[in-house]
Amino acid sequence: MLEIINLNFMKKGFLAIGVSLLVVISVGFWLFNSSVSLKSVDLLQLLIIVLLIGFGVFFGIKRLRSAKRGEPVEDELSKKQLQKASSISYYFSLYWWVFLLYIKDKVVLDTEELIGMGVIGMGVLLVLSWIILRFKGIRNE
């Protein structure tokens, strides 16, 4: 039973890694082939996207390693870590959106840029919350 579940998780892990790599390759091709000159803000956004994708790949590889070792790829601790990280990042992302709405009138920003910054910020907050929880642990709940 555990092997079947692990096999499904392994497939998901491979899929996540495959999709992430496809995104990276596509972005790479687009960058090299496009004649559009990138601003430093665009490059910063791109760097953050690459870091987020890197985190996704790391997560996928971690799952695959667990599956290969014959241990469950998800257990109560990993689920709790993800749930808690999601709830913390959701809470802080509300303030992030409020901040973006506040600066929208002060700085010239396209709608696409604003939404992009919001989504990327949410991703960064999720990753940061997860990393902090990994170091801090989850106690007295």
Report the interface residues with other proteins, using CB under 8 A.
2, 66, 69-73, 75-78, 80, 136-141
Residues with Cβ within 8 Å of 103's Cβ and at least 6 positions away in sequence, in order, are 109
**Least gap, CB of 139 to other proteins (angstroms):** 6
**Least gap, CB of 13 to other proteins (angstroms):** 14
> Is 76 or 105 the residue whose CB approaches other proteins more closely?
76
Interior CA angle at 139 toward 133 and 141, to 5°? 110
> Is 53 or 73 the residue whose CB approaches other proteins more closely?
73
**Least gap, CB of 6 to other proteins (angstroms):** 12
Which residue is listed with tokens 């790391």?
58
> Is 74 or 115 the residue whose CB approaches other proteins more closely?
74
Interior CA angle at 113 toward 46 and 123, to 5°? 55
